[in-house]
Structure 1
Amino acid sequence: MTALPAGIAAVAVPLVLLGSAAGHAARPDALASALRAQGVLPAGLSRPLAVLVTAVEAAAGACVAAAALRALDGTFRASSLASALLLALYALYAAYVARTRSGVPCGCSGGIGAPMTGWIAVRAAALAALALTGAARGLPGGTSGYEAPVIVTAGLGFAVILWTLPYAMIEERSPG
């Protein structure tokens, strides 16, 4: 089952990118507010950067998904590589913010409420590695009848795990 890693990437990466873009689009002020709170970039750039991030996530996710669905291996590899670079940039930024600023919101997926922690960076790095796997291996080809449902299910499972990881790792401390 050599198609499994590339298949997981073909399912999980676009789902997470498109889900994140949809969350940002549904709550457009959340990411801009989080970027201001993080204080890494000038406050005046927070709104344009939030719009740009939403558009880039949507474009990257849509390109990977469309290439996978249309079985365009070259386009899948190129869009997976672009997604890997975007997600690696997210991982580096998240690691920096988590290390230098405490208690700031991540702004992930429309600002659902997770603080910026190392787990945000881990998720982005894991997604970058998956996208890089897709870029290196290309589309899963020659899968038999039973492999396709396994690949899709594994991809969905990875997407759910990576989507929820930072929220699952939040430690709430009771007062007193």
Structure 2
Amino acid sequence: MRVIGITGWSGAGKTTLVTKLIPALAGRGLTVATMKHAHHGFDVDQPGKDSRLHRDAGGREVLVASGRRVALVRELAPDEPEPSLGALLARLSPADVVLVEGWKGWAHPKIAVHRAANGAPPLHGTLASVRAVASDVPLPDAIVPVIDLDDVEAIADAVLRHGEERDTLLPALQAPVMTLARPKRRDDEI
């Protein structure tokens, strides 16, 4: 399983790129798994459904399975830390490629998404783990390769070139190496 992150500031187009990379990689005969970090609470369950009633009644883990899909929802205790990226990667079923959206401060290899209109600086100079930048503008001072954000096939090539094997990465992914806050933009101050 080759693992690579798709990272960038909010609004850069990470999810859009991931949803384009999945069929591009699948079209090459590869199986693709994805992971998405949510900074805020989220829910995959629907109120009133049996699985939600199990959770509401206090079920710490609820597994829902059918002939087509399996979902596991685990409630963390109030004093329980968020699982490490390594622990979460270890739980994934086998796939050829794992696209990890988010987890900027972790040590896995990444492709940074940069969109000029977003108003935030590119991450390639901030994160040592960035192997390439997918950008909508040229970045002449970039210290890593820059790929046109619209060239999904070239970005898919970079995913395969720069992704690293999960089992090699797991020891380094037990804790983040740094935390990042989005820099203020001029219009944030107005």
Between structures 1 and 2, the one with greater strand share: 2
- Higher radius of gyration, 1 or 2: 2
Q: Which has the higher helix share?
A: 1
